[in-house]
Amino acid sequence: MEQRTRRGRTPRAEILDAAGELFTTNGYATTSTRAVADAVGIRQASLYHHFAAKDDILDALLAETIATPLELAASMRDLAEPPATCLYTLAWFDVRQLCAAQWNLGALYLLPEVRSERFAVFRLRRDELRGHYEAFAGQVIAEAGVAGIPGAEALPFRLVETVISIRSDEGAAPEYAERTIPDATLRMLGWTGDLDEAREAAGRLLDRLDARLPLG
């Protein structure tokens, strides 16, 4: 008899939740699949039914951190919305989901293991997300029409991911980030429009795309 100690929708979700906690709290290298199984309250053999190896668990956790923003970005690509609205929407949604996630999984991006071949697909997907950010940002710069900062289109993606450091330092998701970071992504591109309007337009676009903001 197993005594499952985590409440989750599925055994798979319970394993991911326990692993997310252990990897971010104790470290990835030092956490065994046995420790994950123990934390869930299942046998190691039951865990292997869902994940063949520890790196498969890490891969699934990493994939979670980019899946919904990637989907949102792809759904906005062919709309006729102003690029500032698209960038604001993506940044807002992404900051919110990085803040709302139970564990600060983005802290795992910097693991040496993630630079190995095993995680090449994850890295490609994250590059894809970064590409969406850079495309929207490039369009915002082009529309602003002023001599902007060369290379600035790379920064919105990076600024959004600073949520990870802030969470790590402050021990909690920063409340101000959800407004401050999307606002700043537009301002640093030389965009001088009204930020309240950008936010309202982003809210309407999220409704239209039926993309619910993760609960903050």
Binding site for a copy of itself (CB under 8 A): 24-27, 29-30, 107, 109-113, 115, 123, 149-152, 154-155, 158-159, 161-162, 164-166, 168-169, 171, 174, 176-177, 179-181, 183-184, 187-188, 190, 195
Distance (Å, whole) CA 210 – CA 187:
27
* Beta carbons of 140 and 84 less than 8 angstroms apart: yes
Q: How far is the CB of 44 from a copy of itself (least distance, A)?
A: 21
Phi, psi of 107 (to 5 degrees): -60, -20
Q: How far is the CB of 143 from a copy of itself (least distance, A)?
A: 16
Distance (Å, whole) CA 133 – CA 34:
39
Which lies closer to a copy of itself via its Cβ, residue 113 or residue 207?
A: 113
* Beta carbons of 73 and 132 less than 8 angstroms apart: yes
Which lies closer to a copy of itself via its Cβ, residue 78 or residue 194?
A: 194
Q: How far is the CB of 188 from a copy of itself (least distance, A)?
A: 4
Burial class (CB in 10 A: 0-12, 13-18, 19+), 90: buried
Q: How far is the CB of 145 from a copy of itself (least distance, A)?
A: 15
Which lies closer to a copy of itself via its Cβ, residue 23 or residue 93?
A: 23
24's tokens: 């971010």
Which lies closer to a copy of itself via its Cβ, residue 50 or residue 103?
A: 103
Helix (H, G, I), strand (E, B) or coil at 188: coil
Q: What secondary structure letter does DSSP report for 77? A: T
Q: How far is the CB of 46 from a copy of itself (least distance, A)?
A: 26
